[in-house]
Amino acid sequence: MAAPELTLDVWRAAAVALCEYACGSGAGRSKDDPVYLEVTEGRDGPGPEQRRKYSSCGDLAHWLYKRLGIREPWLNRSDDNSFGPWRPGANITLLWGTACPFDAVPPAGTQWMPDAGDVVLIWNGSNGHDAHVMVSLGAEGAALRTANYGAGGMSPLAAPGAKIASKPITFHDGKPFYGPRQIQRYLPLSEAIKHIREEPDLRGAALTGDVFDAIEFGWKAAAKK
């Protein structure tokens, strides 16, 4: 029997499962949860004063990329052991513009929707002060299901910390909006996986054996080239 093929759909399944794990599926996660602490590297706390000054929304995307095996200068983590420690104030700015080589502007029209595993950036303010980063978990009818950190904003409270949300994508003058904020940029997973350099870490992800096998065999085959 041939080994399962490492396709883009396999990577999408892995990205979705990792993000669902990070967000506690339907239950969400508090800021004291061990998984939340892993994703944020303990930055959102330990107490109310620290929490009111920290936004964790960008941590999820960087954690996802690190878990998938990506190692790049625009990845903002300390635990990736690459390109130095975490940089304050850079979780969002490193994901678009000149920093990230594959961020994209949504196409004009009224049919587009991010694919599962795409990182999505939304904001309305001219200076991006209201920016939020989330990960697409795929379409849910006319709505988009998303994984979100910073669920309670810069709040001193321990909950909510992470949650899964679902809102319709609407269009105004051909531009897509998620809830009240415009989707300004997105990072296609199809481009992100081209930057995988290390074996993926799928701990915690609820995946089928075929997906695990496809990634394991596909990674080993790629590593031999």
Helical H segments across 115-188, by residue range: none
Between helix 8-22 and helix 209-224 the angle, nearest 10°, is 120
What is the pLDDT at residue 223?
65
The amino acid present at 114, given as its one-letter code, is: P
In a domain, 191, yes or no: yes
Q: What is the pLDDT of residues 139-166, one digit of tens each?
A: 998 899 999 999 888 888 888 999 999 9
Residue 45 lies in a domain: yes
- 72-78: average pLDDT: 95
**Is 2 part of a structural domain of the chain?**
no
Tell me what pLDDT residue 1 has.
46
CA distance 184 to 168: 16
Residue 170 parent element (H or E) = strand 162-172
Pairwise pLDDT comparison (210 vs 222), residue with the higher score? 210
Interval 166-190: pLDDT, tens: 999 999 999 999 999 999 999 999 9
pLDDT at residue 3, rounded to an integer: 56
Average pLDDT value for the chain: 91
Tell which residue, 13, 185, 12, has the closest CA to residue 101: 185
In a domain, 99, yes or no: yes
Is residue 79 assigned to a domain?
A: yes
The count of domains in the chain is 1
Amino acid at 120: V
Q: What single-letter DSSP state applies at residue 145?
A: E
Residue 3 lies in a domain: no
Residue 209 resides in a domain:
yes
Q: Domain for residue 1, yes or no?
A: no
**Domain region containing 54:** 8-224
pLDDT tens digit string along 93-106? 999 988 899 999 99
Other CB atoms within 10 A of residue 163 CB: 20
How far are the Cα atoms of 10, 15, 215, 219 from residue 209, in angstroms, in the given order?
11, 15, 10, 15
Cβ neighbours of 43 (radius 10 Å): 19
* Helix-helix angle 8-22:57-68, to 10 degrees: 130
